[in-house]
């Protein structure tokens, strides 16, 4: 699949972060990109590179968490033949590969202290030394680093070099989480939904049912845009009916009535903690905000019935059975809350 490198959003917080990246792009200075998982840190790194004078040179991406501590220094700085067991031939590191271009260091907080010391020298003097060599190599590399860790707090605890942090933080771009990007959930959901519908060769895009739109807007999105994309694409391909608005969405793909039980040897407190995690569709209401009990109960009942109808594709007999109602009782609920399909 083609790499998705589009910036989609209209909220002020999001546009401010993109504008700051655009402003910093022409500067050949290090940039730190901070944000929760799935907020688009790599997209910002690409923007910093493409809008800089280095756009025609390599953009080298390295995930510092993907390699064991014993190999990360060799990966970044290269090594001579015989420098360590298994090093049968010399290999250039990521710094040499990124010469004249940009090196993106993702998950920066996972770097070992030894790698941090070498990185400090590379930033300070523009020199790297391969493992097993005593001869430094000059490199011209612009560093963009990303993390979801609190690096200043790590530096205060002695877990990250404060002098390295000082040199990498010429500019710091903090990406807002999706839950605070007002209006962007609907825009992104529509974009991902339309793209998935086209991939499935649907004749048209039906959009989402009103109750699904509400669920998408009120969910907390701990995985941010990446999670939203998965949720929307999963909902579209499971629906398979382009003539009706998508009426069901599942936030947790692991949620199932046949989910395996926790092992008997699992510590009781861990099992209790896991069972206490609420599902996206069963979040407790704010009891202090309830000032009309009847309206609150009706709203909760409507949400349950709407969700069940969508889950069972508006098959009312299956929905009634799933909710423990008779068919007539379900019909009464549908009429009571005005939950009618088109044509009814």
Identical topology for domains 12-81+91-176 and 183-258+291-337? no
Q: What's the chain's Rg over C-alpha atoms?
A: 26
Question: 26 with 52: CB under 8 angstroms?
Answer: yes
Q: How many residues does the chain have?
A: 344
Q: Name the DSSP letter for residue 147.
A: E
Q: How far is CA 26 from CA 47, 55, 205, in A?
A: 11, 10, 40
Q: Which residue, 9, 19, 324, is CA-closest to 181? A: 9
pLDDT tens for 59-104 read 999 999 888 877 888 889 888 876 676 666 888 889 999 999 999 9
pLDDT of residue 89: 80
CATH class given for the domain over 12-81+91-176: alpha beta
Sign of the four-CA dihedral 8, 9, 10, 15: negative
Q: Which overall architecture, per CATH, does domain 183-258+291-337 show?
A: Orthogonal Bundle (1.10)
Angle between helices 293-311 and 210-218 (to 10 degrees): 110
Domain spans of the chain? 12-81+91-176, 183-258+291-337
Q: How far is CA 144 from CA 40, 157, 177, 194, in A?
A: 14, 24, 20, 33
Distance (Å, rounded) from C-alpha 319 to C-alpha 88? 64
pLDDT of residue 301: 85
pLDDT of residue 278: 43
pLDDT tens for 145-158 read 999 999 999 999 99
pLDDT tens for 95-135 read 999 999 999 999 999 998 988 998 999 999 999 988 888 88
Work out the widest C-alpha separation in the chain, in whole angstroms. Answer: 83
Name the stretches of the chain with pLDDT < 50.
Answer: 1-2, 270-283, 342-343
């Amino acid at each position: 699949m083609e790499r998705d490198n589009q910036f989609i959003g209209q909220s002020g917080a999001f546009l401010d972060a993109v504008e700051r990246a655009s402003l910093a792009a022409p500067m050949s200075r290090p940039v730190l990109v901070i944000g929760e998982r799935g907020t688009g840190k790599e997209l910002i790194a690409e923007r910093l590179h493409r809008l800089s004078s280095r756009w025609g040179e390599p953009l080298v991406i390295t995930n510092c968490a993907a390699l064991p501590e014993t190999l990360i220094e060799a990966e970044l700085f290269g090594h001579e033949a015989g420098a360590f067991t298994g090093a049968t031939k010399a290999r250039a590191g990521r710094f040499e590969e990124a010469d004249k271009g940009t090196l993106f260091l993702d998950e920066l907080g996972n770097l070992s202290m030894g790698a941090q010391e070498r990185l400090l020298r590379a930033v300070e003097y523009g020199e790297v030394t391969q493992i097993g060599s005593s001869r430094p190599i000059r490199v011209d590399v612009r560093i963009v680093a990303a993390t979801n860790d609190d690096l200043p707090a790590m530096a205060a605890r002695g877990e990250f070099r404060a002098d390295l942090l000082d040199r990498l933080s010429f500019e710091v771009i903090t990406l807002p989480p999706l839950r605070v990007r007002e209006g962007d959930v609907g825009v992104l959901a529509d974009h991902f939904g339309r793209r998935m519908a086209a991939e499935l060769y649907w004749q048209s895009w039906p959009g989402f049912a009103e109750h699904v739109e509400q669920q998408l807007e009120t969910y907390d999105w701990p995985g941010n845009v990446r999670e939203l994309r998965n949720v929307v694409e999963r909902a579209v391909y499971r629906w398979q009916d382009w003539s009706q608005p998508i009426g069901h969405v599942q936030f947790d793909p692991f949620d199932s009535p046949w989910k395996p039980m926790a092992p008997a040897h699992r510590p009781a407190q861990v099992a209790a903690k896991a069972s206490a995690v609420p599902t996206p569709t069963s979040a407790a209401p704010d009891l202090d905000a309830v000032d009309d009990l009847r309206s609150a109960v009706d709203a909760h009942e409507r949400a349950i019935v709407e969700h069940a109808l969508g889950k069972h594709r508006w098959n009312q007999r299956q929905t009634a059975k799933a909710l423990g109602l008779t068919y007539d009782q379900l019909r009464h609920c549908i009429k009571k809350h005005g939950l009618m399909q088109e044509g009814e």
